Amino acid sequence: MQTMKFRRFFAGVLLLLFTLAAGAQAPDTLRILSIGNSFSVDAVEQNLYEIAADAGAVYIIGNMYIGGCSLERHAYNAESGAAAYSYRKVGADGVRTVRDHTALPYALADEKWDVISFQQSSPLSGNPYSYEPWLTRLIACVKARVPSASRYLFHQTWAYAKDALNPNFPNYGCDQAVMYASIMEASRWAAESHALEIVPCGTAIQNYRATWYRDNATRDGYHLNLVGRYTAAATWYCVLSGKDVRGNAYRPEHLTEGQVKAAQAAAAAAAESPYEVTDFGMRTNDVNYEEALIPAYRLPEMLRCADGTKVQGKARWEEKRRAELYALFEREMFGRAPAAPPSLHTELLESATGVLGGLADRRQVRIHFAKNRYMDLLIYTPAGAEKPVPAFLGINFYGNHSITDDEGVLMTEQDALQRRYGVYPGLDRNKGESRAARGAQASRWPLELILSAGYGVVTFYRGDVDPDFDDGFRNGVHGVYYREGQHYPKPDEWGAIAAWAWGLSRALDYLEKDPSVDASRVAVLGHSRLGKTALWAGASDARFALVISNDSGCCGAALSRRGIGETVEIINRSFPHWFCANFKKYGGNEDKMPFDQHELLALVAPRPLYIASASADQWADPKGEFLAAVEASKVWQLYGYRGLKGVKMPEAGGAVSAGRIAYHLREGKHDITAFDWQHYIDFADNFLK
């Protein structure tokens, strides 16, 4: 926070000195007040001042903030003078201040505002019937108090991400296109009915989603991430200045040149066409799904050491080649992770027996990494089973409570890290709201099936270790390990996937002390990006007895050199926080990679490995996952186990196994289902019982 204040102050001083040195008058100052909520925090509090400064303008920006505030509540507050706001202000020098418990009349009188904006809360933003009479009453109160304002704006909010787990998303059928169309209709009506200028942030975000960066403008499905915030701010600049933002030189830290270019184009197009998505030539039309179009490629020689000698037995693999490959993946792809912190300790939060209808015993344990930094484990073991039991360990996407309807599971706040560290400082940290409903992803964790088979289930929420959005590595576990003066990982230091894998190892540290689970019989499992995580965790920590990758795709189990579906270039654009910075140089340059994913799979050997794909998930390249498993199985052969050489890829619904390495292709889309779990259980029975 202090660093950001200094940067803004320094930018303001430089701008003033430049204009004075040039003999020019100081630039005109534009004063803007937003009456909003967390969506206005995303849009005006970051980047807008800096974009304007780069263009030679000074913006004083005020934001009257209440989380989730509707027009109805704003109208009542304006009429009653309730001191209910956090008044957040960016001054002419770029320094940000916050004044809590502030009434709207105070802020209206604080500056001679030139511009004032209004907005509806996001759940109601697509419902025009929720706007009145509140918008009329709010505008009347404001205009009566601010004679200086010459412009009034309506801030258009944006549709949620396609996979958002927001309790309000069902209002729009959980359909992004429906929500976007509804917001367009309602915001157009509001703007035209009250002669307000529109700030088309909703269209700008939708434009950005039409680029090759896809639906990656939010950090939690609805609030914007770094590039989303930049897109929204650029849109505001276009409207306020009447100028084209394209070519503006300000680039926020940790955003790539490509992201900024796409964001500026999205904002400029929205300013020109506020109510419809514009195709401005940056769509993902270059994705290949045709086997015939795969370029000729040659895989790196897995069984040849860097000095040119061949690996002809398991001793050479273990003594030399495995270490070489692991070092390459660590340095060039995932990044180095630290050891367990010496301060690590645990706390039993809750335990119960005979839960889930008498099927299970439950334990909930908090693992503390450092002050105010922890993750919560949810542990189920079969009731009445002889302890300790074998178990499946995996990370969940939306909180421990999301995997089950069990009312005894403590609610995990999806935004726990962000709230804990003040990214959403206006929210009440004691409310314990959750963005994901209890049991929202229970289908991905068929507890009855797993527990009835004699296995325990251990899980934790990914956000307890690192948030899955590009936040510049400010709000995850990385900060615990920064050296003095460090604010970002070095090029060969861990990204989010390595951090999640680190969290899996910390969970296993605890399980070694838990009497209910046999830590020597733990299978690590993950789906999608967490499938990539499970593979890296299995490669990094030999204590995991079995490794399972479900639909892990690009940079997981699929061969990168095939260039089909998602590619290294696309994944680095879309998810720049997943890997270390060194990996960025391989985007569109896969043939220069010193490894490919078959070698990642081989790092699990000789422990059992299961790879699974879905027939309708061509984005993840099922054939590339199968071929990687075939190539990797050569290392299992060094240990005397059967490999997959000569085995044909199964049809959808089929499976193949070579003893310690197995593969199946499920019918359907990108998901993890009971079909997958049954195969994993059957496979684990051969090794963990």
Q: Distance between CA atoms of 368 and 673, rounded to whole angstroms?
A: 32
- Longest Cα–Cα distance in the chain: 85
| Number of CB atoms found within 10 A of residue 99's CB | 13
Q: Distance between CA atoms of 638 and 640, rounded to whole angstroms?
A: 6
Rg, the chain, Cα only: 27
47: left (phi over 0), alpha (psi -120 to 50) or beta: left
Residues 526 and 468: beta-carbon distance below 8 Å: no
Q: Hey, what's the torsion of the CAs at 396, 483, 542, 637, to 10 degrees?
A: 100
Active-site pick, 528, 540, 552, 560: 528
Residue 222 makes CB contacts below 8 A (sequence gap 6+) with 122, 160, 161, 164, 166
Residue identified by tokens 């696309």 is 570
Which residue, 143, 242, 155, is CA-closest to 196?
Answer: 155
Residues 135 and 194: beta-carbon distance below 8 Å: yes
Which residues, listed in sequence order, are joined to residue 348 by a DSSP beta bridge?
A: 365
Q: 307: buried, middle or exposed (CB in 10 Å: 19+, 13-18, 0-12)?
A: exposed
Which residue, 296, 276, 521, 516, is CA-closest to 393?
Answer: 521
Amino acid symbol at 615: S
Judge whether 527 counts as a catalytic residue. Answer: no
Copy the structure tokens of residue 128: 């025009």
Active-site pick, 130, 194, 368, 670: 670
Q: Distance between CA atoms of 137 and 78, rounded to whole angstroms?
A: 9
Displacement of CA 511 from its chain's centroid (Å): 27
What CA–CA distances, in Å, run from 485 to 3, 46, 112? 11, 23, 40
> What single string gives the DSSP state of each residue in 519-552?
EEEEEEEEETHHHHHHHHHHHH-TT-SEEEEES-
What CA–CA distances, in Å, run from 220 to 48, 377, 410, 471, 493? 22, 21, 20, 12, 24
Instruction: Report the half-sphere exposure of 677 (CA within 13 A, side-chain side).
Output: 22
Residues 125 and 155: beta-carbon distance below 8 Å: no
Judge whether 615 counts as a catalytic residue. Answer: no
Amino acid symbol at 52: A
Q: Distance between CA atoms of 530 and 404, rounded to whole angstroms?
A: 19
H/E element, 201: helix 201-209
H/E element, 473: none
Copy the structure tokens of residue 622: 């099922």
Residues with a catalytic annotation lie at 528, 670
